[in-house]
């Protein structure tokens, strides 16, 4: 199997457009979780979210999610210096959940008010698979193309899928990532399940009360290492291994012992051929629900032992960006390796005594690590771990 490296990064986050703005926010430990503005939130316990401040890519007739995806994918391709000639064979794997649901909601809400809006662009773009259609066509990507919907782990699964296509020799280059725009369905739904904190979320905190919702998009360019070297591409890091498992336990609650999570982490280590001791940092799923953080910490302890490895949750700063989370957190993990700086768990005040790791409270930490992993554990027990190694 061929080795896969990261040669381009692109992101649109609650800190703004571009990887630079994203990393600047993470490095500063800033929190982008604020009162919701995109639609009404009256009657809901939680009324805050991490919104992207301004859309700069794509035309206004496109769905919000398409515009987020375009911004991130265009940046990644440009960053990698992918020539037009290469795009015909480049694969595209997209992680998505909400699709163009925000615009479809506006259509449906108008319909409920007795207006008769014509079905059209809003409904065409509703499906999660529609971003791939938009990106593939707009960017001229002619290789294998598919969309994965695995709830909160969609973005990570997309990178794992793309890595497999390259490792197996199906393609030499792939664009992979995830996107989700704020939607009423998501915001109302998590409110209904009482999984949201009315204040900005506090992963791994003793007094954590739930998640914050965010939106955004992040795409990376993955390449076979021989090809990247041959064309003199800048190599950020190697995507050295991944693990994908399923809890098969409950549609919303994680399996209490974290067995599926631990298995995903072990599989990533095995695939990369490294021991747990080689991993210096874990970008946790860290949603700040009482359950996830407790179980994830237990799973991490099972695989990595107690203490030693540094763990942080960037959801403390940008919230849970759903299908974009895996992509945005992969970008953060890669930059952790290249910048030798670990983003903090920005909102951590009182560490949970049950969590035996240093969760890098409040302030980013300088550290040179050899390997770092990113965890994404989706609703319905879809567990994915990506392992990145220093280039």
Binding site for another protein (CB under 8 A): 1, 43-44, 92, 96-97, 105, 108-109, 112, 118-120, 123-124, 127-130, 132-134, 136-137, 141-151, 157, 161, 164, 168-170, 184-185, 188-194, 244-253, 260, 378-382
Specify the DSSP element, H or E, that contains 279.
Answer: strand 279-283
285 is catalytic: yes
Q: How far is residue 95's CA from residue 40's CA, in Å, rounded to a whole number? A: 27
Q: CB nearer to another protein: give 35 or 43.
A: 43
Q: CB nearer to another protein: give 137 or 362.
A: 137
CB of 277 to another protein, least distance (A): 25
Q: How far is residue 241's CA from residue 276's CA, in Å, rounded to a whole number? A: 13
Q: How far is residue 214's CA from residue 320's CA, in Å, rounded to a whole number? A: 5
* CA distance from start to end of the chain: 18
| Phi, psi dihedral angles at 335 (to 5 degrees) | -70, -30
Nearest C-alpha neighbor of 359 from the set 291, 287, 299, 281: 281
Q: CB nearer to another protein: give 168 or 370.
A: 168
CB of 258 to another protein, least distance (A): 14
Let me know if 283 is exposed, middle or buried by CB neighbors in 10 A (0-12, 13-18, 19+). buried
DSSP letter for each residue of 296-316: HHHHHHHHH-SSSSEEE-THH
Give the three-state DSSP class for 216: strand
User: Do 121 and 65 form a contact (C-beta atoms < 8 A)?
Assistant: no
Q: How far is residue 364's CA from residue 344's CA, in Å, rounded to a whole number? A: 5
Joined together, the tokens standing for residue 61 give 């007739």
Q: CB nearer to another protein: give 23 or 379.
A: 379
User: Do 321 and 180 form a contact (C-beta atoms < 8 A)?
Assistant: yes
Which one of 152, 186, 359, 371 is the catalytic residue?
A: 152
320 is catalytic: yes
Q: What does DSSP say about strands 237-246 and 216-224: parallel, antiparallel, or unpaired?
A: unpaired
Q: CB nearer to another protein: give 25 or 260.
A: 260
CB of 274 to another protein, least distance (A): 19
Residues 6+ positions from 184 with CB-CB distance below 8 Å? 39, 102, 105
146 is catalytic: no
Q: CB nearer to another protein: give 185 or 230.
A: 185
Q: Which residues are catalytic?
A: 152, 285, 320
């Amino acid at each position: 199997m061929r080795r896969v490296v990261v040669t381009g990064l692109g992101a649109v986050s609650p800190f703004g457009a571009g990887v630079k703005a994203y990393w600047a926010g993470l490095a500063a430990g800033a929190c982008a979780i604020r009162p919701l503005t995109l639609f009404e939130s009256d009657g809901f316990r939680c009324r805050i979210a991490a919104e992207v401040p301004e859309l700069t890519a794509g035309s206004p007739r496109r769905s919000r999610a398409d515009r987020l995806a375009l911004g991130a994918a265009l940046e990644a391709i440009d960053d990698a210096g992918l020539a037009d000639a290469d795009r015909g064979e480049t694969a595209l794997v997209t992680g998505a959940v909400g699709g163009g649901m925000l615009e479809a909601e506006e259509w449906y809400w108008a319909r409920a008010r007795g207006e008769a809006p014509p079905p059209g662009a809003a409904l065409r773009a509703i499906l999660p698979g529609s971003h791939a259609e938009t990106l593939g066509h707009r960017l001229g990507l002619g290789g294998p193309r598919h969309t994965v919907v695995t709830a909160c782990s969609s973005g990570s699964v997309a990178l794992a899928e793309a890595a497999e296509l390259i490792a197996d020799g199906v393609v030499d280059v792939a664009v992979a990532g995830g996107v989700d725009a704020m939607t009423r369905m998501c915001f109302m739904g998590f409110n209904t399940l009482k999984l949201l904190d009315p204040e900005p979320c506090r992963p791994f905190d003793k007094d954590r009360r739930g998640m914050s919702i965010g939106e955004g998009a992040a795409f990376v360019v993955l390449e076979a290492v021989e090809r990247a070297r041959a064309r003199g591409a800048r190599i950020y890091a190697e995507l050295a291994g991944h693990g994908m498992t399923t809890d098969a336990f409950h549609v919303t609650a994680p399996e209490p012992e974290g067995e599926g999570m631990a298995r995903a982490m072990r599989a990533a280590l095995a695939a990369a051929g490294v021991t747990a001791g080689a991993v210096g940092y874990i970008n946790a799923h860290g949603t700040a629900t009482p359950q996830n953080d407790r179980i994830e910490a237990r799973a991490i302890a099972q695989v990595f032992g107690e203490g030693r490895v540094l763990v942080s949750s960037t959801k403390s700063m940008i919230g849970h960006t759903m299908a974009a989370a895996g992509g945005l957190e992969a970008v953060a993990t890669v930059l952790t390796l290249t910048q030798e700086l670990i983003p903090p768990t920005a909102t951590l005040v009182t560490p949970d005594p049950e969590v035996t790791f240093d969760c890098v409270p409040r302030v980013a930490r300088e550290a040179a690590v050899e390997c770092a992993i990113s965890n994404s554990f989706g609703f319905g027990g879809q567990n994915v771990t990506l392992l990145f190694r220093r280039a």
